[in-house]
Structure 1
Amino acid sequence: MRFTVFLLIILSACSASKTSNSQTSKSTAPSGIAGKVAGMTAFDGYFDFYHDPKTDKIFLVIDKLNQEFLYVYSLAAGLGSNDIGLDRNQLGGEKVVKFERHGPKILLTEVNYWFRAESDNAAERKAVEDAFARSVIWGFTLVTEEDGKILVDATDFFMQDAHGVSNRLKRGGEGSYSVDKSRSAFYMDQTRAFPKNIEIETILSFKGTPTGRYLRSVAPDAENITVREHHSFIELPDDDYEPREFDPRAGYFGYEYSDYATPISEPLAKRFLARHRLKKKDPTADRSEPVEPIIYYLDPGTPEPIRSALLDGARWWNQAFEAAGYIDAFQVEMLPEGADPLDVRYNMINWVHRSTRGWSYGSTVADPRTGEIIKGHVLLGSLRVRQDFLIAEGLLAPYENGDVVPAEMQEMALARLRQLSAHEVGHTLGLSHSYTSSTEGRASVMDYPHPLVKITNGEIDLSDAYDDKIGAWDKVAITYGYQDFPDGVDERKALDEIIAKSLQDGLTFLTDQDARPMDSSHPSAHLWDNGANVVDGLNDILEVRKLALSRFGENNIRNHQPYAQLEEVLVPVYFLHRYQTEAVVKIIGGLEYRYALRGDGQFPTKMIDPAMQKAALSSLLKTVSPETLVLSKDVLALIPPRPNGYDGGRELVDSRTGLTFDPVAAAESAAHMTFSMLFYPARAQRLITHNAIDSNQPSLESVIDAVVGATIKTAEKDGQLAQIGRTVDNTMVASLIMLARNTDSSDDVRSIVMLKLEELSEWLVKNPGVSYLQKAHFARLAKDISSFLDDPEEYEMPDVPRIPDGSPIGMD
């Protein structure tokens, strides 16, 4: 009994003590937001936020409920692999979002601007809003509130993998990775607040098991990788921007949405250009300063002389704005010290390092409501300049004195960088690729230019490798997109007149889908080509290649370099014709067309002159002739296996001869390049269709006959030429079999190809060849064809050595 009383006394004392402590806490703890963030680092800006250095947490003050703003995520520090594609200063995506309160929960909701009702009727707008999904991208729990302001713990939101690094690694076969919060933190050096935006950056560490080769090549520990991700909350632009209607002929990226308030007689889809806001101070003047210029900033991490080249090239665009009637409307400067390149206030040209050569990009942050470009963001791969230098080494064999580097080599490389800078900046101005421009006198920097190499007085001449200015089409496009018309001008009519004038001047615009060598058919829209007549261009580049290979030797590398490194220099010369071949092959079964609008005077489609197709085929057959593909004994004698410490790579030729250089595999890769493009299902079907419409057009069977006649049915050669000839034969037959097997091939294509293969097999049996090797070659080809025809599904296709990637300038 005394024990029970004693226990009650103890419990009563504990209860009293607890009540006393609770009351003391209530009486001394500060209240409201100020109390919760006491001792934290304050950031005052578009949204106020606080960083607690003790817990490494960020608390966000939300004072703009139901007010839309722009959320942008990006990658501040990347992985350095072109193949993985996670680069320094890489933009992710942008979303129009708003905070909504539902009880204690604060939801960050993405607004769906793809579907709208542009109407004064609120009920009509609400009907569309409720018809299509929105996306709640995060939920926050209220910490405290005060005077209409809400404090939330935003740590987990900013610590998420918003950029999708783990998804990118998984999709690329590099492994399964997840964020390790114990090794992640806020990066306060790049966490800032400004009146119209806040910038928050995190160090994110990922843990996983690597399964691919690319991540291992760049990470010190492929099981543990660390990047930095960046988050921006940005005030949306005001309503003074005036969207400009999209025209497929004008050369711009566009954006579109569906407007359900549109009258039945009008299209539901609304299309507008993507472009910066630009106005003249005096729209009535022929030339006027802008109200506010477009200013781009160059990454200060860019070294000289590259820095000057990039500044020069980007500044070319002011020529186009001057042609549109502006004075100094486009400017390029160095990024101010202390500025963040991911800050939305700065249009940026970034210099990005990777372990291998890679693509450069011109991307934007744009207002999804209007298409207004808020920030231009260029990523230029730093190793690209070295490829042009390598091409120059291969073409010029410049090291007769051992180490002296001719000035023309560096100038060629820098000329390419000027063009590259202009090209990628052009994308951030809203411009698409313009792939007919190379056939119209270098009319646009928005084409992909192959170096224009000439033979002058028997010598290879690189003096005009790249253009040094903006093109005629670029001026048209900028005038169309950025001209500020005075009041009273019919804008639609004035824009049509700009396009009509460009057509009269012989300028056209076709873009990406029209330029690829396989499915596309246009004879003038190409990547990396030169010349108004692409067939002449191929013949010219083959002559340049022939001259360069005839002089190829030890003068192509510097003193004290391993002889094995001649192969690196040889590859871009040996495959110098690859892109012009892509251009010429599109003429076969090609179709010329325009982005024609009814009433604009352009023709919609036109089949290509049969004589032009015949000339194209003749030129293509030169690319697979043994005389073109053979390498001299002198060249082969200089290329030994790779020495210790100099591993091979993807930009070298695959080999069937072990460690030694394989000239036959190089020839096979080159031949396969031509045949795989020529004997492609879409091209074969077009040949059949065009011939059915017009019997003067070449037929599929006539093209096959011409190719067989120029390969298998030619007179037997000797030595190396005979060996390469047999390789070309094998590659050609394999390409025909692949065409017959391809599930994309039509019944007509398969029927014709299989009959042609049967006829070829019969010819091979009746014409067994002269030499023992030729007899064996013909017998095996006949057997292979028969095996395929007997059981197409079971026939096993031979492996073909891949053409060296040369990324980013690989084959499509």
Structure 2
Amino acid sequence: MSPQVLGKPLFLSPKLATGIGEAGVLGGLMQSRYAQVGRPQWVEFRKVQQQVQLVAVNSAYTAARGTPQAKAVQAAFSPSLLAAVPLASAPDAKTGAVLIDASALWLSDVLGLALHLQRNYRQSYGFDPRQSSISQTRSSEQAAVFEVTQHFATASIAVPTPGAPPGTPVSTVPAAVPDPRSLFVQVHYTLTPLPEQPMPRRKADQRVGYFTSTVADFTDDLARTPRQQFINRWRLEKKDPSAPLSEPVQPIVFWLDPTLPDAYRATITEGVLAWNQAFEAIGFHNAIEVRTPPTDTPFDTLQTGHASIRWMTNAQPAFGAIGPSHVDPRSGEILDAHIALESLSSRAVRAVRSQYLSSSSLPLNGAADATPTVTHAHPADDFCMHAYTAAEQLTLGLDMLAAQGALDPDSPEVRAFVLAYLKDTTMHEVGHTLGLRHNFRASRWRSAAELDDPVLTRAHGNSASVMDYAPMNLPAPGKSIEQGGAPFQTTLGPYDFWAIAYGYSALPAEAPQAEQALLAIAERSAAPQEAEALAYGTDEDNLLGVDPQALTFDLGRDPVAFADRRIAIVQDLFQRLDRRVPAPRDDANLPRRAVGHGLRELARVGQVLMRQVGGVVTRRDAPGSRRDAIDPLPAAVQREALGRLIDHYLAPQALRLPPGLQRRLAPDFMALQDAVSLGRLDASVAELQLSLQRGVLAPLMSEGLAERLLDNRDKTSDREPRPLLPQEVHARLMAAIWRASPLAQAGSDAQAAERLRNLQREHVTRLAAMWLRPTSNRADVRALVWQQAQQLQRWLSSASSRATDATTKAHLKACLETLQSALRASVVRGGG
């Protein structure tokens, strides 16, 4: 080791070269900077007496070098030791270089994979250094690469405890390895020098969605906060700064990994290069390039600096596609990025499209019954579900073309459909690798009429951004897909152009002018003519669960119109399933899977409608925009959404699957023989409907919604003469569930009567729980719960005395006893 290396800032980039195809241990996966262990690091080699240490520098806390504050920071915050090795020789007399045993540095579980395996499988996996080895090393002026084959093993396999209570964590084993007691993972480490001159930082702005790097800079004691956030972006500079359009000094290059199938390379290339339109708009010609690695010389697409796109074959769908990156923590400069596309998602899309086009078959997504298995600490960066959910959306495709008979999955129509999906996915993931976060507000850009315009949507897109999770744009029942708008987003939207302008536009050299130029770009978000197109809301906006505009799987400006069409599409799907005469060569599992996908779509639509009730629009505007930062939805919009929820989800006829169709909902018997838990063979429509209704009833009855409705009343008292209040919500629920529905007497619709009783039992149980275990201390909320309980108690007492059907009478008396017992019991306070 040369003395020049000691103390030099280096970047350690870990990746998994090979994995086990499940549990997030996936070959080709770039390790996350948000992971608990094994993240990319700014590191240094330090000589301490007779050993060399590999130390991770604490880059999160800083102060100007040479200042007293820098000494205080050094005293306050510790670095971390990643590995240490004793010197194997004295320093060379001429060069001062020393020998070390590199195997001692790298033959350890730096990534913490043993702990990850233990947590996922609840088995005693441990790192086995004796059967681990450094399989390859190579170095150049740009990088030093170490490929380490790591062995993990356990001497015994834990099995589930017989008779364990429900909910007890269960031990499992990896299904994709020959012997679960032993597995190998190859870890790829790259050490590269960090740039001698860090890239100039660019300030993050809440109005524009970029991943950020954050430091606490204690240099200025008068600053309001030491916390500084700057965006992550590639270093992009013009060769000719004075030219209106110039090639970059160094383009952003994406390498097509040899794992990519030949059939998809051209479309993936199109998806990558589509972003050049946004860069050309700010003066860069050919800012992004796509290259194929040479075949006559070794080329490592995992090496830092070689941004790549690869194909992954995992045992189960884990994410569909993912686009993480590694950045210089000092400046936010993106140093490396790797996009991974899963083969199972594309395979499912091709199968679905062949049935979508056929009038003798029905939609099916073969992979969609599996749930994603990868979890990450930072969902916005590491856990992108765009490709997976886009593939599942295809299961709602209806046989809209007049062609008879099944279509060949390799037909031109099928191929074009698959490639459109793949381009959409590629553009989304490339956006992540350019630094962009999700924008879940972009899907509201178009009106319903615009979404049906095939010319408009194919030329300019369905959404204001490719960074949204927009559902597939499906036409209304009775129209073919060719008559409707573009199914996928295959072009950049206006938000994408604007976001790239913020992150990559050349700025004046002087700091005040540069800040003003950047501010001018950001302020466009509130301009009246651009506000709709540049609106931004991301993962945390969606996860907070109150903003009706920043959410996933909605499409169009009118959420109720979107819900009406989506529900009609699912109902039409069920009708087609019932009418279709099965053929001998059909897939017997197709009806069950198609019904499952339709039900999941109904659940998603229910959440879109639910977000409107009590919805509060949160705007990321800067002061002076003249728009309210917190803006409750108009009461009329909320009432319309509430009406749809009651009509489509809480009515007894909400989910009607004909008996003949129910008898065709066969399970996949070949899959059952490999299943750890068999579940049940048949599908219970009553349970399915109740599950949908619980997803709607729980938030509508929640005390949190009641509090928000009361707060919204206060916020809009100067403009809303008749706000939606919790009393109205509960009264409409009471009428829909109890009073407006006839008592199930003998001779009435037995199926509808049973579904109604299930919903009534759910309602009374929740009302009793709200009284016994309150989560709100608001007086009006507690009074509302008491009032509803008293009213229902009186109604149940009267109705049970009038009921003549034995089942109905028993049901009503049981509900009455549940409510009376709750009202007599002591209240358990759950609030603060």
| Fold conserved between structures, TM > 0.5 | yes
Distance apart, 1:679 and its partner CA: 3.6
Distance 1:387 1:260 in 2: 52
The 1:231–1:791 alpha-carbon spacing in structure 2 relative to 1, beyond 3 Å, is: farther
Distance 1:636 1:455 in 2: 25
395-404 or 228-237, larger mean C-alpha shift: 395-404
* 2:399 aligned with 1:378: no
- The Cα offsets for residues 266-312 of structure 1, whole Å up to 9 and x where unpaired, read as 54222211111001123333322211111112332122544333332
For the residue of structure 2 that corresponds to 1:216, the secondary structure is coil
The 1:759–1:456 alpha-carbon spacing in structure 2 relative to 1, beyond 3 Å, is: closer
Distance 1:557 1:76 in 2: 46
Name structure 1 gaps, 5 residues minimum. Answer: 1-59, 796-812
Equivalent residue runs for 1:532-681 within 5 Å: 532-553=557-578, 560-621=585-646, 622-640=648-666, 642-643=668-669, 646=672, 658-681=680-703
CA contact under 8 A between 1:348 and 1:376: conserved in structure 2? yes
CA contact under 8 A between 1:170 and 1:176: conserved in structure 2? yes
* 2:97 aligned with 1:137: no
For the residue of structure 2 that corresponds to 1:492, the secondary structure is helix
422-431 or 557-566, larger mean C-alpha shift: 557-566
Match of 2:312 among 339, 352, 359: 352
The 1:712–1:279 alpha-carbon spacing in structure 2 relative to 1, beyond 3 Å, is: same
Identity of aligned residues (%): 25
Distance 2:312 2:760 in 1: 44
Partner of 2:518: 495
CA contact under 8 A between 1:394 and 1:552: conserved in structure 2? no
Distance apart, 1:610 and its partner CA: 0.7
Distance 2:404 2:822 in 1: 53
The 1:393–1:430 alpha-carbon spacing in structure 2 relative to 1, beyond 3 Å, is: closer
Q: When the two structures are superposed, what TM-score results if normalisation uses the length of structure 1?
A: 0.83
Partner of 2:12: 71
Partner of 2:362: none
- The Cα offsets for residues 449-500 of structure 1, whole Å up to 9 and x where unpaired, read as 1111112645566762212201110000001100113556922222222223
- The Cα offsets for residues 379-422 of structure 1, whole Å up to 9 and x where unpaired, read as 23332335553254553258962565576555444323222211
Q: When the two structures are superposed, what TM-score results if normalisation uses the length of structure 2?
A: 0.81
Distance 2:683 2:601 in 1: 19
CA contact under 8 A between 2:477 and 2:569: conserved in structure 1? no
Match of 1:753 among 780, 785, 803: 785
Distance apart, 1:343 and its partner CA: 0.4
Equivalent residue runs for 1:187-206 within 5 Å: 187-188=135-136, 191-206=137-152
Distance apart, 1:89 and its partner CA: 2.5
Distance apart, 1:435 and its partner CA: 0.8
Distance 2:660 2:315 in 1: 33
Distance 1:673 1:95 in 2: 43
* 2:473 aligned with 1:452: yes
For the residue of structure 2 that corresponds to 1:626, the secondary structure is coil
Match of 2:120 among 172, 193, 212: 172
Aligned residue pairs total 726
Equivalent residue runs for 1:148-163 within 5 Å: 148-163=96-111
CA contact under 8 A between 1:281 and 1:289: conserved in structure 2? yes
Distance apart, 1:341 and its partner CA: 2.5
Partner of 1:513: 540
CA contact under 8 A between 1:443 and 1:471: conserved in structure 2? yes
The code of the aligned residue for 1:242 comes to P
Distance apart, 1:562 and its partner CA: 4.4
Distance 1:773 1:580 in 2: 34
Distance 1:493 1:426 in 2: 26
CA contact under 8 A between 1:412 and 1:466: conserved in structure 2? no
Partner of 2:176: 218
The code of the aligned residue for 1:206 comes to F
The 1:732–1:290 alpha-carbon spacing in structure 2 relative to 1, beyond 3 Å, is: farther
Distance apart, 1:569 and its partner CA: 2.2
The code of the aligned residue for 1:369 comes to R
Partner of 1:431: 436
* 2:819 aligned with 1:785: yes
Partner of 1:698: 724
The 1:290–1:458 alpha-carbon spacing in structure 2 relative to 1, beyond 3 Å, is: closer
The 1:95–1:551 alpha-carbon spacing in structure 2 relative to 1, beyond 3 Å, is: same
Distance 2:571 2:788 in 1: 33
Distance 2:111 2:258 in 1: 25
CA contact under 8 A between 1:642 and 1:648: conserved in structure 2? no
Distance 2:819 2:415 in 1: 51
Distance apart, 1:336 and its partner CA: 4.0
CA contact under 8 A between 2:526 and 2:625: conserved in structure 1? no
- The Cα offsets for residues 527-550 of structure 1, whole Å up to 9 and x where unpaired, read as 111111112111111111111111
Partner of 2:799: 767
Distance apart, 1:728 and its partner CA: 2.9
Distance 1:557 1:316 in 2: 43
CA contact under 8 A between 2:443 and 2:470: conserved in structure 1? yes
CA contact under 8 A between 1:433 and 1:512: conserved in structure 2? yes
160-169 or 301-310, larger mean C-alpha shift: 301-310
The 1:558–1:438 alpha-carbon spacing in structure 2 relative to 1, beyond 3 Å, is: farther
Partner of 1:127: 72
The 1:418–1:761 alpha-carbon spacing in structure 2 relative to 1, beyond 3 Å, is: farther
Distance 1:794 1:266 in 2: 43
CA contact under 8 A between 2:270 and 2:423: conserved in structure 1? yes
- The Cα offsets for residues 621-640 of structure 1, whole Å up to 9 and x where unpaired, read as 22333333121223113223
Partner of 1:256: 214
Distance 2:584 2:146 in 1: 50
Partner of 2:405: 401
The 1:783–1:400 alpha-carbon spacing in structure 2 relative to 1, beyond 3 Å, is: farther
- The Cα offsets for residues 707-760 of structure 1, whole Å up to 9 and x where unpaired, read as 222223332361323232333333344454565666754455455335423432
Distance 2:329 2:232 in 1: 10
For the residue of structure 1 that corresponds to 2:689, the secondary structure is helix
Higher strand content, 1 or 2:
1
Distance 2:589 2:210 in 1: 46
- The Cα offsets for residues 648-697 of structure 1, whole Å up to 9 and x where unpaired, read as 979x9x97xx4222111211222122223434453332123223554733
Partner of 1:247: 205
For the residue of structure 2 that corresponds to 1:176, the secondary structure is coil
Distance 1:218 1:757 in 2: 53
Distance apart, 1:79 and its partner CA: 2.4
For the residue of structure 2 that corresponds to 1:163, the secondary structure is coil
* 2:494 aligned with 1:472: yes
Distance apart, 1:423 and its partner CA: 1.1
CA contact under 8 A between 2:202 and 2:503: conserved in structure 1? yes
For the residue of structure 2 that corresponds to 1:552, the secondary structure is helix
The 1:402–1:282 alpha-carbon spacing in structure 2 relative to 1, beyond 3 Å, is: closer
* 2:756 aligned with 1:725: yes
Distance 1:109 1:498 in 2: 40
The 1:785–1:416 alpha-carbon spacing in structure 2 relative to 1, beyond 3 Å, is: farther
Match of 1:104 among 40, 45, 50: 50
The 1:529–1:792 alpha-carbon spacing in structure 2 relative to 1, beyond 3 Å, is: farther
- The Cα offsets for residues 519-568 of structure 1, whole Å up to 9 and x where unpaired, read as 42112101111111112111111111111111115859886344234212
The 1:265–1:223 alpha-carbon spacing in structure 2 relative to 1, beyond 3 Å, is: closer
The code of the aligned residue for 1:431 comes to L
156-165 or 331-340, larger mean C-alpha shift: 331-340
- The Cα offsets for residues 16-48 of structure 1, whole Å up to 9 and x where unpaired, read as xxxxxxxxxxxxxxxxxxxxxxxxxxxxxxxxx
Partner of 1:687: 709
Name structure 2 gaps, 5 residues minimum. Answer: 33-38, 160-169, 353-364, 366-392, 447-462, 743-747
